[in-house]
Amino acid sequence: MLLLPSMLGSLALCMEIAVALRPNGILDRAAPIAPIPEDALSEGPVVSRNGTQLPPYNTTYIFNQLIDHNNPSLGTFQQRYWHTYEWYETAYTGYLTNVTINGQIAQQQSGATIVLEHRFYGLSNPVPNLSGKNLKLHTIQQAIDDLEYFANTVVLPMPNGANLSPATAPWVLVGGSYSGALTSWTMVNKPDVFWAGYASSAVVEAILDYWGYFEPIRQFMPANCSADVEAVIAHVDEVFSGNDTTAIQVLKDNWGLGEMTHLDDVAGFRNNLWDWQSLSPTSGPGATFFDFCDALEVKNGVNAPASGWGLDHALTAWGSFWNETYLDFLCGGDDVVDCLGSYNPDSAVYTDIALDNAGRSWTWIVCNEVGFLQEGPPEDVPAIVTRLVQPPYDIRQCVLMFPDVFASSADVPMAAGVATVDKVYTGWNVSIDRLFFANGQRDPWREATVSADGVDVPSTDTQPIAIGDGFHCSDLSTASGNVDPTVRAVQTKALAFMKTWLAEWTPPSKSSKRDVPRARSSRLFRDGVA
């Protein structure tokens, strides 16, 4: 969030949700998360424009957030946030520094920045553990209500910090990936709170069978690499769909997966394609995805033509890459079946209910509200991942992850949740004033954004859409804009719109102010809500 001063202010909220790397089929492996800023924070003192020394960027603050916005009597929990008013100036309107677009907006508009930790992530939890029953208040709507309550009631650790609500200063909501979608959903659901929004790679359309995740990868990966990957995948699907047990075992052994018994776990090796999400305009030689393609396409120092080397070489080279480096990268020497299998209900991936488990928190949202299952494509679309992995494969994992809530796959409300999210928060049909969408052509999450292929969302002066050649949330990073002029153009356009919109802000009338629920007690909830 960006907070701009009393006559022209902005609070910029950017929630960065770190999701731990998980192997193979586990649902959180390629979650829609914004990348960590590439530039390190300054180790020196933080000094405001007027020379005042400020707390370090990593200073953690606590906000008493409502446990349940529908029942304030339950009290509050401690929600963490980070904040700086390095650029803030009275009489003006902001990740915290100008190494991100948040800080660029704050610097341009003389605003302050805030990063708010999402409920049920990190140490911002209203419950003692992350059992399924304890996660019932982990919903998109509760997260939206958190933003409203925070903006209207927080006392910020800065001059005049008790008088900087949206009634006295314009707040700008900023998010990337899931939090970019949350920016859009919040502005639709709470149109009177945030004056403007910046939504990067915002996955606004919940999609259950999100096979489109792999389309931008297929379209923009090296042509020789995509050709050979398609050839290998077609071969794997053909062999695994047949009854030749010897041929099946040969393929399993090729990747060092001979001990695995479930063919969908073996065929589901989407890992090499998921590595694409880690790329940015600053990525170069040594990036894991490029190492993978080099392993397939460079033979005796010679690059393959656009058509690739063909099935035989690609199959052998892919197997060598896994056996020589990639299996150790994924599993670190652990048992391959334990590491890559998805069928063991006693796996720690499913049974670890301790707090600060971002993967588990995200999987709850996947199972209940957004889907985003990254599966093989329809038959009429070229496949760079197996078609043998379809929604039932992933929905089954919801049952294993939350057996105290779901007795079977039929109990998982994913389809209904996806439909509700798209209806309530409008998805691709979003139409809201002063919301800037920034997207990247190479983003694997592009097909869930307003820039998806075949989706005609108009770009207007009140809801602009800008797309560059970047990857996932590339436009959030100043460094990416410094090396890719198309990303920089997106950032420049956004800054211009923010300047115009914030100049138009006036305090809302008293009649338009919302009543905000208050907690009846400020106790920290420790007993769970199950």
Q: Pull the structure tokens for residue 33.
A: 């998360």
- What are the tokens at 180? 């970019």
CA atoms within 13 Å, Cβ hemisphere of 415? 5
- DSSP code, position 456: -
Nearest C-alpha neighbor of 234 from the set 212, 251, 249: 251
Q: Confirm if 386 and 233 have CB atoms less than 8 A apart.
A: yes
> Cα separation of 71 and 518, whole Å?
9
The C-alpha atoms of residue 131 and residue 180 are separated, in whole angstroms, by: 27
Between strands 76-84 and 298-299, the pairing is unpaired
Whether 177 is a known active-site residue: answer yes
Which entry of 110, 124, 177, 201 is annotated as an active-site residue? 177
Residue 420 — left, alpha, or beta (φ > 0 → left; ψ -120 to 50 → alpha)? alpha
| 2: nearest Cα among 517, 524, 502 | 502
Q: Under a CB-based contact definition with an 8 Å cutoff, are residues 334 and 258 in contact?
A: no
Q: Are 76 and 59 in contact (CB under 8 A)?
A: no
Residues in the chain: 530
Q: Where are the alpha helices (DSSP H) in 120-256?
A: 140-153, 178-189, 215-220, 223-240, 245-254
Cβ-contact 33, 177 below 8 angstroms:
yes
Q: Is residue 275 among the annotated active site residues?
A: no
Among candidate residues 394, 443, 475, 484, the one labeled active-site is 443
| Cα–Cα distance, 319 to 340 (Å, whole number) | 16
Tokens of 217: 């990868």
Annotated catalytic residues are 177, 443
